[in-house]
């Protein structure tokens, strides 16, 4: 490994990398599997340019959390109460400011399923925060025992159940 005085400049020749990878001295045979896993990450380090399979891993994580969001959203949209009634209807759109003028005075951060569908989430946790905000908004504005309050609890239970898997 050649160090050029800058902490970001490392040059590793193929021969040196091969030596590092194949040098199993003082490992008692335990490092071989770890070394093999290192070689499969395709690491190239030259002049501040680092490319690894991390880009692929980040893309996989991105796809994974987007799939989780879609899956949970599908579960929520398809929820039914004990009588088979779809519970999502009242959560799909924001309440009308004409029909519920006090809603926007009481609820400072309104959100609906339609708002969430349009939003670009950076991670799964951000999506969960919005779902919980929607649930909290419903329980803040509506009285305990109302249909909306009960439906909010059904959604909350579904989210908790999904996240416990």
pTM for the full model? 0.63
Cα(89)–Cα(116) distance, rounded to whole angstroms?
14
The pLDDT, as a whole number, for residue 120 is 93
Domain edges within the chain: 2-52, 56-163
Cα(163)–Cα(165) distance, rounded to whole angstroms?
5
The pLDDT, as a whole number, for residue 63 is 60
The pLDDT, as a whole number, for residue 151 is 98
Token pair for 109: 């951060």
* 56-163 carries CATH number 3.40.50.150: no
What Rg do the C-alpha atoms of the chain give, in angstroms? 26
Percentage of the chain lying above the pLDDT 70 cut: 62
The pLDDT, as a whole number, for residue 57 is 56
Residue 39 pLDDT > 80, yes or no? Answer: no
54-75: buried (b, 16+ CB within 10 Å) or exposed (e) per residue? eeeeeeeeeeebeebbeebbee
The pLDDT, as a whole number, for residue 30 is 46
Question: pLDDT tier at 50 (50, 70, 90 boundaries)?
Answer: very low
Q: Average pLDDT, stretch 95-124?
A: 96
Token pair for 8: 């970001």
Q: Average pLDDT, stretch 25-43?
A: 42
């Amino acid at each position: 490994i050649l160090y050029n005085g800058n902490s970001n400049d490392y040059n590793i020749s193929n021969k040196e990398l091969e030596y590092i990878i194949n040098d199993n001295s003082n490992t008692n045979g335990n490092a071989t599997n770890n070394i093999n896993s290192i070689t499969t990450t395709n690491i190239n380090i030259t002049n501040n340019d680092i490319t690894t399979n991390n880009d692929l891993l980040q893309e996989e994580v991105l796809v994974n959390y987007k799939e989780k969001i879609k899956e949970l959203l599908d579960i929520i949209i398809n929820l039914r109460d004990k009588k088979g009634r779809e519970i999502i209807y009242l959560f799909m759109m924001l309440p009308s400011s004409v029909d519920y003028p006090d809603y926007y005075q009481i609820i400072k951060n309104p959100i609906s399923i339609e708002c969430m569908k349009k939003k670009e989430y950076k991670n799964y946790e951000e999506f969960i925060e919005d779902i919980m905000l929607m649930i909290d908004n419903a329980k803040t504005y509506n009285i305990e025992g109302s249909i909306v309050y009960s439906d909010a609890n059904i959604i909350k239970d579904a989210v908790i159940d999904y996240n416990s898997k």
